[in-house]
Chain A
């Protein structure tokens, strides 16, 4: 036994010394294509701003990502970070990526490690990363930490901890309009069968959601209200997959919604599972169309995909990077939408109804000029009653009892804090038990 111990130790030592002896060639590995991409933008930015700016080429940014470029939501973040870095002149090799970081202590390890590598600002992109980011932020007061989609920065009392999320509910509302236009067309063409309607004669919509909390609730409600604004008689069923990314479960959820008669399948989950299933159903003669999330779904569902609600993260990252360069705090609760170009819907698919583009454009214009509020309390009821009050959690105890979000006739989504907070279950939407 002792011999075995020694021999293994020797084996390990040899392996280790193999790795240890040559440290030179490590550096050039990731630089080559990054270096050439960036030279242009760096120069053009230089003459715009003046004095107190930090040298952009000396700033390091850390990114903690729940997935990698194969996952739509994370891909959108990577894309946003790269664009923003190019815009403010941070060379791409100064961005240190941590891919596929689970929502546990590895997130804390990754954050601390990024600090050790000299990052001045560190971003994480999943909700579950938040408390680990906050822990790291408490220990490293000189580095800024941002937990995207999170909600505890303001009450954490930390000067170096922030949250951010786009007003993607606005884009979901607009994608709901696209769905509503399609429903209207289907009804006019007589393509809606009895099985596609509930007992009250409402056309059924389905929605594949990830988890039953405010971020998802806010999204599907906006989507539903968008559809309802075009075609009044709709009802929606929601199935949860209990995962942000599960191709099989999302496909299954879409199938079960379609077999229940749903003609439009929306989603707040990050895979192409649902659109793929909808395309297959459409090809087999069913009436079903898909509204996706994050990325254009036309390549997986060329005739079934209508559009996708999407985030343009570069708007946020540009603002955050500029704050870092100016030596200022990144906004504690950042939340912007159409008015600043932070959200959008993707190119309309060929199956979209006629006049969709016009309806979309006018809705976007109305959202931008403030004449249209997505969560207009005159447009929905809860338990048959109009909503006059809804308190939102602001002190971090996760009880919605702190501040009034309803005023001036609408729910002020993402205005009190960055993270979505609309948690009301409105009439017309049924949450089904998760699969």
Chain B
């Protein structure tokens, strides 16, 4: 009887978990999905504007990499995003939902801007390391608070870190109002434009060389830390199951607090990089939503440093290309947000098809 029901009611399509898809097939799936995403975007662009999609992509590419300075600006944005993602990686791997990168970046930024304003007389080799250390400490402190509460009282870290962002934004507004020029204009302006104190110096004639170097150092550090150290192992155990970690005799609270200190410190350093290495000013938009975008980067990359760099590059490319589309075609820059959304959606979808497969109803049920 039961077999009869099965034959009648077998679903048209079933989702089956699969593992160990061969490498070559994974590559093909991912390439296919990115291509489909580009084609879908192409249709969309064409439907809205009747522009030839290929030329729109060409313009985007030129906007991001058209000449040396554009390439460097794109690389700078990529490094910024990647550094934040690297900072978030250990927290998220531990399944500690650190939504507070935005705030941790701002705190690092405020501290850096403050150092630049008040300590502009310091020589660079003292000032820059000092800013580095202080903004790391600031970011760490901003992350420490929710970590302690989570570890001690098991408070919800998602809400806690999120709310810390608003506190940081208000603090930034306060300092902007304190430092603004002229009073009331809400603009701090470029700090130390005359003597460039506290700015990243040019290395090999390259303004953004230090941004790249700093991020790569952290990328390598995080790669080793998460994969080859005891700390990294503990993080992944806590992430998989806190009870298992406890059973194995790990001090979960300590691991949590330690990891969040590291996560916050790197985000604070990202704030330092944003102020010293890029904008040389501070405003409530210094973090600019990157603290949230970086979460997507970290997750998509499954916390792997090299992949985080690649995904950051993709997003930075799309963003730089966006300004160029707005400039060259009469497309609003929201159009590029849509394109970014579609591409990310398809990348996520490709993960689904790598981890699961669809089984369609067959005429004869095989071997049940």
Contact = CB atoms under 8 A, between A and B. Distances in A.
A417 B181 CA distance: 16
A104 B191 CA distance: 12
Contacts of B31: 7, 10-11, 14
B70 A113 contact: yes
Contact of B279 (A8, A101, A104): A104
Interface string A102-123: 1111100110110010000000
Interface in A203-229: 211-217
Given A104-B279, A105-B279, A113-B69, A3 B23 contact: yes
Nearest to A5: B306
A26 B35 CA distance: 21
Please report whether the interface of chain B is mostly helix, strand, loop or mixed according to DSSP.
helix
A25 B182 contact: no
Interface stretch (A130-138, A323-331, A351-359, A361-369): A130-138
Contacts, number: 159
Contacts of A100: 326, 333
Nearest to B173: A242
Interface string A128-165: 10111011001000000000000100000000000000
30 contacts: A1-B302, A5-B307, A7-B26, A8-B311, A10-B30, A10-B31, A12-B34, A18-B57, A22-B58, A25-B55, A25-B58, A26-B55, A26-B59, A26-B62, A26-B328, A29-B328, A29-B329, A97-B327, A109-B73, A112-B69, A116-B67, A128-B185, A128-B189, A131-B193, A135-B193, A138-B193, A211-B184, A211-B185, A214-B182, A217-B184
Contact of A22 (B27, B54, B67, B307): B54
B145 to A, nearest CB: 27
Contacts of B279: 104-105
Interface of B: 23, 26-27, 30-31, 33-35, 38, 51-52, 54-55, 57-62, 67, 69-70, 73, 181-187, 189-190, 193, 278-281, 283, 285-286, 288, 302, 304, 306-307, 310-311, 313-314, 317, 323, 326-330, 332-333
Given A5-B304, A7-B23, A135 B184 contact: no
A11 B182 contact: no
A374 B70 CA distance: 47
Given A135-B193, A211-B185, A213-B185, A22 B55 contact: yes
B51 A29 contact: yes
B331 to A, nearest CB: 10
Please report whether the interface of chain A is mostly helix, strand, loop or mixed according to DSSP.
helix
B55 A6 contact: no
Interface residues of A, number: 59
A5 B34 CA distance: 15
Contacts of A211: 184-186
Interface in A1-57: 1, 3-12, 14-16, 18-20, 22-23, 25-26, 29-30
A393 interface: yes
A209 B344 CA distance: 40
B184 A104 contact: no
A127 interface: yes
Nearest to B323: A98
A134 to B, nearest CB: 7
A26 B34 contact: no
Given A12-B313, A98-B326, A103-B283, 12 more contacts: A3-B27, A5-B307, A7-B30, A10-B30, A11-B30, A16-B317, A18-B35, A68-B333, A98-B327, A128-B187, A128-B283, A214-B182
